[in-house]
Amino acid sequence: MKINWILPLLLLWIPSASVFAADSKPGALRFQAGAATSNITPEIGGDIVGGFVPLPSTDIHDELQARCLVLDDGKAKVALVVCDLLGMHRSLCVEAKRLIQDATGIPASHVLISATHTHSAVNALGERVRGYRSDQPLTDYQVFVARRISDGVRRAISNLREAEIGFGSVDVPEHVFNRRWLMREGTVPVSPFGKVDRVKMNPPAGSPDLVETAGPTDPEVSFLAVRELGGRMISVFSAYSLHYVGGVGQGQVSADYFGMYCEALKRLQTGGEQYPPFVALMANGTSGDINNINFQRPRKGQPPYEQMRYVAGDLAQKVGTAIASIEWRAEAILDARVQELPIQWRRVEPELLAWAEQVEAKMQDPAGKNSLPGVYSGRVQRLAQASPETKAPAQVIRIGEIGIGTSPCETFAETGLEFKKRSPFKHSFMVELANGYYGYLPTPRHFELGGYETWPGTNYLEPQASVKLMEALLGMARELAFAKP
Ligand SMILES: [Zn+2]
């Protein structure tokens, strides 16, 4: 056997990476895609944060994931990450991006990290301050999530392979309802601040006092799909403007319909479990005023998880069908821009602060602190002491003819519709709760109408914030769309 002297000779000749690339890929810069999931399920006992008052988790119904998709056009990489969380503080996202850049070289601008807004996850927003600081020390769980996100992106890179990409969309209007209603005069309850709003969030379903919704819905599921050259699906990144579905078992951690949709879409793929497995992602579109409740008729009671399973299965079915009519492309130019917006925190007027201090002084018993005025007096005082700058991030990712704009807020459907209409890209959509968490983002006309989403402490940013965000997104989109490859 001559192998014993051939092997050392072979080891001496170490071709450079570029030689390998030229040998194995004659097209030089082949488009590649890889995806992976990374488990971010917390220990049992942490506080579930979806409701007004946090309650400790006592069980895990289904695992929480950071779902990661990495695209590579041969020159640049883009990482898209969707986490099964209610929201993520900016500092968590900054740390995750730092870890990713150190490990992979992908710059922070090219990494989009968003939360689904499942209401049955534990707190990744940080302790008590609830986002009124632009920089914050991380909790143990936040550190864990940042590391798991970075691990997920590294694993997605390990799974990179030559790919084709396509854009698709399907309208599914039957699961989205605007939850802000104009009501018959005198029927909107007085707000915790003692004022009468014109709009009621989540009014009683089937109430004769409903007049009309205060805004539109966006029924579109937008998605980009990547598959191997041989045809096996790698990943689908989707966005739908539905707040969440809810209806979990008491004390249970769950990824809500977002996770169930990802699993359902995986089951529909041939070879979906084959290694590396197919990964679906469901980002939240712009759903700050949208939920799954048809307010025009009384609600029927349902067992836990039934409604989310129904919504998830139906969406997966419809996206699965729409994938069949995608036009596949062998490449897509990747690029991205990010900006910290010139946006102020919402101003707390002296009278409002005085109200908050008065309410707090009167409420010494714990039950009072959990009442609406009790909760909002604390929020208003924290908002009054917010850090000087918001550092609210806005980002646009270009993936060939697709432009994804982001918002760090619970953003109204009409904002997402406006971006789709005005963006210069052939296909556009928005992802909310991205790269940080800054409360609700009503448009200026909604501040006039009032209601839950406009209350100080539910909303953190100045009333012009949605207008400034849109200008920033469209500016970056134009730069990216018209940039020379
Ligand atoms: Zn919400």
pLDDT digits (tens, 9 = 90+) for 14-73: 443 333 333 344 455 799 999 999 999 999 999 898 777 788 999 999 999 999 999 999
Q: Quote the ligand 1 centre to 152 CA distance (angstroms).
A: 26
pTM for the whole structure: 0.93
Q: Quote the ligand 1 centre to 410 CA distance (angstroms).
A: 6
Q: For 150-196, what is each residue's pLDDT tens digit? A: 999 999 999 999 999 999 999 999 999 999 999 999 999 999 999 99
Q: For 113-144, what is each residue's pLDDT tens digit? A: 999 999 999 999 987 655 588 999 999 999 99
Longest CA span, the chain: 95
- Tell me the C-alpha distance between 150 and 406, whole Å: 20
Residue 322, CA distances (Å) to 100, 166, 222, 265, 266 in order: 33, 11, 10, 12, 15
Is the pLDDT at 392 greater than 70? The verdict is: yes
Q: Using the structure block, give the residue that is written with the tokens 């997966």.
A: 316
Q: Quote the ligand 1 centre to 285 CA distance (angstroms).
A: 12
Question: In 10 A of CB 372, how many CB atoms?
Answer: 14
Contact call for residues 31 and 245 (beta carbons, < 8 A):
no
Contact call for residues 414 and 215 (beta carbons, < 8 A):
yes
Is the pLDDT at 78 greater than 70? The verdict is: yes
- What percent of the chain clears pLDDT 90, i.e. is strictly above it? 84
What pLDDT band is residue 363 in, cutting at 50, 70 and 90?
confident
What pLDDT band is residue 483 in, cutting at 50, 70 and 90?
confident
Q: Quote the ligand 1 centre to 51 CA distance (angstroms).
A: 9
Q: Quote the ligand 1 centre to 52 CA distance (angstroms).
A: 11
Q: Quote the ligand 1 centre to 443 CA distance (angstroms).
A: 16
Q: Quote the ligand 1 centre to 87 CA distance (angstroms).
A: 9
Q: Quote the ligand 1 centre to 188 CA distance (angstroms).
A: 21
For residue 438, which of 466, 408, 405 has the smallest C-alpha distance?
A: 408
